Structure 1
Amino acid sequence: MLRRVDEIAPTIDDPASRGLCGGSSGGNGSVTAAWHRPDAFRKVIALVSSFAQIPGGNPYPRLLATTPRKPLRIFLQESHRDLGWDEAEYNWLAENLRTAAALAEAAYDFRLVLGEGAHTGNHGGVLLPDALRWLWRD
């Protein structure tokens, strides 16, 4: 799976020891990669994720309600004034909250941290050390 990475630096074979991290589209991409490949990645840090801009809409509330639980641990960070926070459509805050609610309803091991600010990496950057400790707490 990670052959190219292993050429540069050996990786751990245990997917429970591997994680992904990203902000904005990278946050959404990290969740998506782990969702589709829990055999490779099981820990996710998703900062101010852009679930609102997924073509066809945010699939995670529906998928989490209709798919057997996957062995994922997910840390979400969102800002109260993220893009479209006061709009009916393309509301990054609302879609992150919908995803978090679906994770809770599906009994996932997740954490949501809300903060002030806009669509920036400032809050997520401050939280990163705690997010890493929380993900690998065991």
Structure 2
Amino acid sequence: MKPLLLTVISFVCLTPLHAAETYTENPGKEGDGAFNIGPEYQIDPDLTDKGNAKGKTFTFSMKLADSKVFDGKDKTLEPDKKKVNTERKVTVYVPAAYQDGAKAPLLVIHDGPGQLKLISNALDNLTISKDAKRKLPAFVCIAVQNGGNDGKNSERGLEYDTMSDRLARFIHDEVLPAVLANAEIRAAYPKFALTENPWGRAVMGCSSGGAAALTMGWFRPDWFRRIIAYSGTFVDQQDDDAPEESKFPLGAWEYHSGMKLIETSELKPLRIFTHVSENDNRANDPEETYHNWVMAGMRTNIALDQKGYHHRYVFSKATGHCDKRVFEQSLADTLEWLWRGWEG
């Protein structure tokens, strides 16, 4: 990777978790900044199966009708045009390095287990690494399927493109308790536990899922603080009839343009990775939207950097939207950078 010229600011995070305790980490600035990758790609060996000990995978379903946050009946939805699922699958990977009874850090993955194989390989390989600079904590992966379809007036759009804390509340109040209560997980790990430390809670997504990852941290940094956004949808895809339109009329576009939320808001305790592909969403959208999409990702990068966030940005040449090749080459580096400094 060749770094672009980019000013990097490092800071020590000192955050109260409870009235009587604090948590401190100092990840340093290594890996912060902007990087180009491509146009040639190959899979990182750390994302392949090297024959190391495997963790355990669990899958269960949650009915939308049982949710108090996303019950599939929102007024913004058009179920006749965009089908709403009746249930969503949740896939949990507990790495072999996890010790039962420990409060595990976690990574929430939007849109289900699409990248889970790569991430589980990274965990199998890098939790046992002898290189302190190339090591991952034994975090639990929780891949959550969206509620169906895409774009405005869809359940997925409602969940991922809405500028509010609704998705964060859904994950925090409903999904995490369901994981902790799952009978199969409990049978395998009787003392299974997840950390309550927001620095031990990461969120990852691509496209609208990437924007949703930032939105979860942006609105609820008291719950989620490590963010991965590949090909982020930092354009206006929020439902036109959503209540949030009154506060954020341009949806995720407001982060970098319009209201310039990143620039004008107080610095939040977040560690953020963002990515843009050279041809991001070009194949499906008109030329004007394409330029806006790539522009939005670039502007988000600039805003985060100028504000002073611990931030890593990757621009991938000759690639498209949520391109498999980008994940295969960069995801191990992304995860290693994201978790640097974790002292849980």
Given the two structures, how large is their TM-score scaled by the length of structure 1?
0.90
Q: Aligned partner of 1:69: which letter?
A: L
Instruction: Please say which of residues 44-53 and 18-27 is displaced more in the overlay.
Output: 44-53
Aligned residue number for residue 59 of structure 1: 254
1:21-74: CA deviations, max 9, x gaps?
A: 001111011011111110110001100111124332511121111111000000
Task: Give 3-state SS (helix, strand or coil) of 1:70's partner.
Answer: coil
Cα distance in 1 for residues equivalent to 2:254 and 2:279: 22
Distance 2:262 2:201 in 1: 21
Choose 81-90 or 6-15, whichever is displaced more: 81-90
Q: Deviations over 1:50-99 (max 9, x none)?
A: 11243325111211111110000001121011124993445221100011
C-alpha contact 1:23 1:121 (8 A) present in aligned 2: no
Aligned match of 2:19: none
Aligned residue in 2 for 1:134: 337
SS of the equivalent of 1:104 reads: helix
| Cα distance in structure 1, aligned partners of 2:269 and 2:224 | 9
Larger Rg: 2
> Partners of 1:86 and 1:100 in 2: how far apart?
23
Give the helix-richer structure, 1 or 2. 1
Residue in structure 2 matching 1:42, options 217, 220, 225? 225
Coordinate RMSD, CA, aligned:
1.9
Is the CA contact (8 Å cut-off) linking 1:15 and 1:38 kept in structure 2? yes
The code of the aligned residue for 2:278 comes to: H
Q: Secondary structure at the match of 1:118?
A: coil
Distance in 2 (CA, whole Å) between partners of 1:101 and 1:6 is 38
Select between 112-121 and 33-42 the one with higher mean Cα deviation.
Answer: 112-121
Which blocks of at least 5 consecutive residues in structure 2 are unaligned? 1-171, 183-191, 239-249
Q: Does 1:68 align with 2:263?
A: no
1:10: how far off?
2.4
Alignment-mate amino acid for residue 255 of structure 2 = Y
How many residue pairs end up in the alignment? 138
1:111 matched to which residue of 2? 312
Aligned twin of 1:26: 209
User: Residues 27 and 96 of structure 1: is their aligned pair in 2 closer, same or farther, counting only changes over 3 Å?
Assistant: same
Secondary structure at 1:51 match in 2? coil
Aligned-pair CA distance for 1:134: 0.1
Task: State, as a whole percentage, how many aligned pairs show the same letter.
Answer: 36
Please give the TM-score of this superposition, normalised by the length of structure 2: 0.38
Alignment-derived partner of residue 6 in structure 1:
180
